[in-house]
Amino acid sequence: MYVRCMLTMQDLNDPQSNPLPLLSCVRTTCDASDYYLCVWNSLYPHDAYFDLAMLSKINHEFVAEGKLGLEFKEPKQLLSIDTQYMLLLNLLCYQIKEIIKGKKVNVETRRIPKLVFSTKAVMNHFDPLAVEFVSVDRFDNRLLNMRNLTTLTMKNCDLPTIPVEIGHLPIEYLDITGSKLPINQDTFWDWMSMTVICGTLTTLKINSIGLTRLPFEIMYLKSLETLFATNNKLTYLPEIICEVKNLKSLFVADNKLVYLPYCIKRLFALMDISNNLIIGTVSPDDDHLHKYMIELTTKQKNDAENAVPSLSHLSLYSLMDNCVTFKRQDIPRTLWIYFNVMGRCNKCKRWTLPEYCQVGFKDMIVHSILYGDRFEPGQFMVCSNKNNCKRLV
Ligand SMILES: [Zn+2]
């Protein structure tokens, strides 16, 4: 027997709290010789068990009107039941009284889970089957047990790290807007290389976190449709963003972008690029590939014109062509820089690096959310060696 009701669960340790009544089912149940009141509602989809031996008071004056109050010593809670099923409530009240008198009452028997309802459980409302979790100030490790989690919000949190294990959860929506990230972000984005989240994440919000460049791991997020990275310090978008083939909306307002990668044209993404430094012309000082080349030539003699790609470059291309996912730390640190500057040749579509290409700018149509379709400068790369530049079939 169970009673459908509106149930208010008042924590008597915190009389100031003002809990809302929840649509619930309550029933008595028995495990060995112990009797419990079992509560099921949206807060406790796996039932909460109140030990009837801990009952300190029954307010039954209005049971004929469908109202019953049960006060427990442990946990210190007042459960107020309000139902239209007066007869059932009468029966429940009678049962409870008989149980308290020590009589053997015929109720449903079942094994009560080890984790019987406790005050602590009331405090944190943690439910491993929850699909949504909002962190208040920091990463909460318990959420790693939420195997059905699809929405994770960690706004304005202190996030020294995000454990790689969240990549095993089927998260579709992740928001870390305004959170404080570590200065050294080497391992911070590892979760993006985990198989499950790569296939499920459709919306990522990384606004206002002081990003100076997009993490290259973003290219693993094959289902990503919407990326928010507004109010950061991005000076360019790497070409690898075009590997996120499902991207439909890109919000990068309030950054320091001067141009976009030309390949983004192929994504047909709606963009918000307002409040950047895009003025139509690009000075070499603002061109990240130009800066990379200058650094390179100061380090070594530049004989790139007819150069054969080095072995590390070839292995890099191979990693990209075979869509191998890896964690940043798995490859030499010296290779990391390449993910910011590598791109596909605009003609043959093969992977290349600035040392083997000519870099140029072309106007391209950007589908701007604010201004409609507009022409903006797009940066492209084309193989220097024409003999190598053959379109792959
Ligand atoms: Zn080419």
Distance 321 CA to ligand 1 centre (A): 15
Distance CA 24, CA 373 (A): 52
Residue pLDDT, tens place only, 73-128: 988 899 999 999 898 899 999 999 998 888 777 776 665 554 444 333 333 456 77
Distance 338 CA to ligand 1 centre (A): 17
pTM: 0.67
Q: What is the predicted pLDDT for the residue at 303?
A: 53
Q: What is the mean pLDDT of residues 310-319?
A: 87
- Residue 190 gets the label, from left (phi > 0), alpha (psi -120 to 50) or beta, of alpha
CA 256 to the chain's CA centroid: 25
Distance 90 CA to ligand 1 centre (A): 82
Alpha carbon distance, N-terminus to C-terminus of the chain: 69
Distance 383 CA to ligand 1 centre (A): 4
Distance 309 CA to ligand 1 centre (A): 13
- Identify the three-state secondary structure at position 338: helix
Token readout for 317 is: 């291309």
Distance 392 CA to ligand 1 centre (A): 9
Q: For ligand 1, a single-atom ion, which residues have Cβ within 5 Å?
A: 345, 347-348, 383, 389
Q: What is the mean pLDDT of residues 309-333?
A: 87
Distance 387 CA to ligand 1 centre (A): 9
Asked if 189 and 210 count as a contact pair (C-beta separation under 8 A), the reply is no
Q: What is the mean pLDDT of residues 22-51?
A: 83
Q: What is the predicted pLDDT for the residue at 367?
A: 87
Residue pLDDT, tens place only, 190-221: 999 999 999 999 999 999 999 999 999 999 99
Q: What is the mean pLDDT of residues 266-292?
A: 90
Q: What is the predicted pLDDT for the residue at 302?
A: 52
Q: What is the predicted pLDDT for the residue at 109?
A: 67
Distance 289 CA to ligand 1 centre (A): 17
Asked if 273 and 373 count as a contact pair (C-beta separation under 8 A), the reply is no
Distance 347 CA to ligand 1 centre (A): 5
Residue pLDDT, tens place only, 179-193: 999 878 788 999 999
CA 103 to the chain's CA centroid: 52
Distance 343 CA to ligand 1 centre (A): 10
Token readout for 344 is: 């596909």
| Lowest pLDDT segment from 4-18, 103-117, 331-345, 355-369 | 103-117
Distance CA 263, CA 66 (A): 67
Q: What is the predicted pLDDT for the residue at 117?
A: 46
Q: Kindly indicate the confidence band of residue 144, based on its pLDDT and cuts at 50, 70 and 90.
A: confident
Asked if 180 and 135 count as a contact pair (C-beta separation under 8 A), the reply is no
Q: Give the rounded percent of residues in the chain with a pLDDT score beyond 70.
A: 91
Q: Kindly indicate the confidence band of residue 250, based on its pLDDT and cuts at 50, 70 and 90.
A: very high
Q: What is the mean pLDDT of residues 268-273?
A: 86
Residue with the larger pLDDT of the pair 309 and 81: 81
Distance CA 265, CA 106 (A): 71
Among 75, 53, 56, residue whose Cα is nearest residue 122: 75
Distance 351 CA to ligand 1 centre (A): 8
Distance 259 CA to ligand 1 centre (A): 22
Q: Give the rounded percent of residues in the chain with a pLDDT score beyond 90.
A: 48
Distance 217 CA to ligand 1 centre (A): 24
Residue pLDDT, tens place only, 163-177: 899 999 999 999 999
Place of tokens 């030539």: 297
Q: What is the mean pLDDT of residues 237-242?
A: 95
